[in-house]
Amino acid sequence: MNNIILIGFMGVGKGTLARALVKKSDYFAIDTDDLIESIENRKIKKIFKKEGETYFRNLEKKCALWLENSVSNTIISTGGGFYKQENIHNIGKVIYLKSSFEGILNRINSSSNAKAKLRKRPLLKNLKEAKEIYDLRVKEYEKVADIIVDVENRKIEDIVRDILGKI
Ligand code: S3P
């Protein structure tokens, strides 16, 4: 296997970090949300709206099984709920990207496409509810993680160096 799985809350920077890691290593990269959109040929937002969250979670499960059986030497960035997959440790080493809720909102809001980032994430639509999901998940992310990396207010180069030193 030899995969690295990046988990963490929506907007924490899993995809951005996966791309930066690839540039500095021999790993390939793949994103579970991208995989799902490609299987379904429609956006996550549409899938949530038309089919509901349970349907989406089943697609994540399908994805997790495929990753376990078919993917190696890859940095896998995941949707914020992917950490629940039972076989996650059979896929690879799990790294939790840790940040406060405020830090995540600041990161999203300071990006040039902040509106699009918020729009494409159904579970970020209501910030009060998003904070509740965050509070529930923080402990679970930490429990699932093999490695915890603090990413708040840190330069991407430093995080990349940190992760490559730990794996
Ligand atoms: C989700 C996070 C999203 C996406 C879906 C559900 C979640 O991915 O998978 O909207 O449950 O946290 P990002 O973490 O890339 O935003």
* Residues 159, 143: Cα–Cα separation, whole Å: 21
Contact indicator for 59, 116 with CB cutoff of 8 Å: no
CB within 8 Å of 67: residues ≥ 6 apart:
3, 30, 32, 76, 91
Q: Is the pTM of this model over 0.85?
A: yes
Return the C-alpha torsion angle 111, 53, 95, 76, nearest 10: -80
Structure tokens belonging to residue 137: 């998940």
Ligand 1 atom nearest to 60, measured from its CA: 9
Of 167, 3, 145, 144, nearest to 70 by C-alpha is 3
Length of the chain: 167
Indicate the top mutation candidate among 46, 54, 123 to test ligand 1's pocket, ranked by most ligand atoms within 8 A of CB.
123
Ligand 1 interacting residues, C-beta cut-off 6 A: 10-11, 33, 44, 79-81, 121-123
Confidence of residue 56 (pLDDT cuts 50, 70, 90): very high
Answer yes or no: is pLDDT of 1 > 90. no
Per residue in 100-139, pLDDT (tens digit) is 999 999 999 999 999 999 999 989 989 999 999 999 999 9
